[in-house]
Amino acid sequence: MMMVISCLVAQVGNGEQLKDKELSRLLSKYAAHDEPGIQYIVVDKSSTVYSHSVGLSNVEKDIVLDASQTMAAFSMTKTLTAIAVLQLVEQNKINLDNKVTEYVTHPYDPNITIQHLLNHTSGIPNPIPLKWVHLAREHDDFDEQFELNKVLNEHSTLDFKPGERYKYNNIGYWLLGRVIKSVSGIEYLEYMSEHLFQPLNLSSNEIGFQIYDKNNHAKGYLKKWSFMGLFGRFFVDPKMLSENERGWVHIKNVYLNGPSFGGAIGTAGAFSKILQDLLSTESMLLEQRTKQLLYQQQMLNSGTEIDMTLGWHMAELDGTNYYYKEGGGAGFHCEMRIYPKKGLASVIMSNRTSFNSRKILSELDIRFVENEI
């Protein structure tokens, strides 16, 4: 009997070793040792199932990327903003059906609600936000409200009536950040630190909205011989682009003008801790009933369902439903997913602009989703 058990244990161990080797091989395929890198992590509600980093955080100096180095998360921030809004819903400080004008002013249809902003059905226009950034070194002189007002004035006409259609939107989540400030009485960044990061014991060198340590923040890159590499200067301010490093254009450290739609900076591990909390039945962030709102599929005025919740997009992998949020911008691309029925979540982050996170993450995650962990 003991021999049979020993053989089974050995088989399981060998199987895990083979899986680890296969995952390492795949990650190295998408980020060679001399290219910008990848952080990848898979977790269940209480532990890390798998974690691996490959490639470089600094191409010029051949600095290897590891799990401790931060990267820009861009639109993954939107899910964190949605969690913050739902916390205030729990406290009866916000009602999803309330009009946004009860909290902040805007030039659009006064019937736009908090829910419309969360599920991207407000009809607010969505211009490409390539220039809604400023250099990190300019941050001390930055005025967020001034920049928001400028954007609202330049893009003040709705594309459609609220609830009529789905259209991805950045301005709506920028407004949600101002709603959080208005309702909580503190700045959005302060709220996120106190009510999302601190409860999970996440330090400022793991996640935040500014680069805590320049030496521990990966450099963002753009492939020189790519469309954006060749024509990027026509789309973004040239002052954002730096020197060429062995075929990669380094993009200088920037902050988004609207932190609540895409300003978070952190490690894959830090984001995975937020996902672990959402998987837990004893969440530090949301009560169980409120958590269900985060996963509730949304509908248009017509009753047509959309592949969107109040903070996630919806998709399927090998017959398993999952919720995801992708983020990408100047020098970085990332995605996080949660598979509630499998009790798993994953995060992938890369310090390169052109990175097919959807395809790559599916290819990696399938090795965990296929089996009950």
Q: What are the tens digits of pLDDT across the range 252-270?
A: 999 999 999 999 999 999 9
Buried b (16+ CB within 10 A) or exposed e, 52-71: bbbbbbbbeeeeebeeebbb
Average confidence (pLDDT) over 143-169: 97
Task: Give the model's confidence band at 225: pLDDT under 50 very low, under 70 low, under 90 confident, else very high.
Answer: low
- Reading the block at residue 211, the tokens are 């680069």
- Measured distance CA(158)–CA(305) in Å, rounded: 22
CB 172 within 8 Å of CB 122: yes
Output the pLDDT for position 10: 43
pLDDT at position 166 over 60: yes
pLDDT higher for 230 or 296?
296
Output the pLDDT for position 235: 56
Query: Which is nearest to 115 in space by CA: 91, 101, 98?
Result: 98
**Check: CATH 3.40.710.10 for 71-219+250-334?**
yes
Output the pLDDT for position 364: 97
Residues 6+ apart with CB under 8 A from 202: 266, 270, 273, 274
Output the pLDDT for position 330: 87
Q: What are the tens digits of pLDDT across the range 85-128?
A: 999 999 999 999 999 999 999 999 999 999 999 999 999 999 98
Output the pLDDT for position 11: 42
- Measured distance CA(46)–CA(352) in Å, rounded: 30
φ/ψ (deg, to 5) at 338? -135, 130
- Measured distance CA(214)–CA(311) in Å, rounded: 30
pLDDT at position 228 over 60: no
CB 44 within 8 Å of CB 275: no
Output the pLDDT for position 12: 43
For tokens 């020993």, the residue is 6
pLDDT at position 236 over 70: no
pLDDT averaged over every residue in the chain:
92
β-strands 320-329, 332-339 pairing? antiparallel
CB 369 within 8 Å of CB 339: yes
Output the pLDDT for position 354: 84
Output the pLDDT for position 7: 41
Q: What is the CA radius of gyration of the chain?
A: 21
Q: Tally Cβ neighbours within 10 Å of residue 224.
A: 15
Q: What are the tens digits of pLDDT across the range 275-325?
A: 999 999 999 999 999 999 999 999 999 999 999 999 999 999 999 999 999
Output the pLDDT for position 161: 98
pLDDT at position 53 over 50: yes
- Measured distance CA(188)–CA(224) in Å, rounded: 36
- Measured distance CA(342)–CA(49) in Å, rounded: 13
pLDDT at position 9 over 50: no
pTM of the model: 0.93
Residues 6+ apart with CB under 8 A from 207: 70, 197, 264, 265, 266, 267, 270, 271
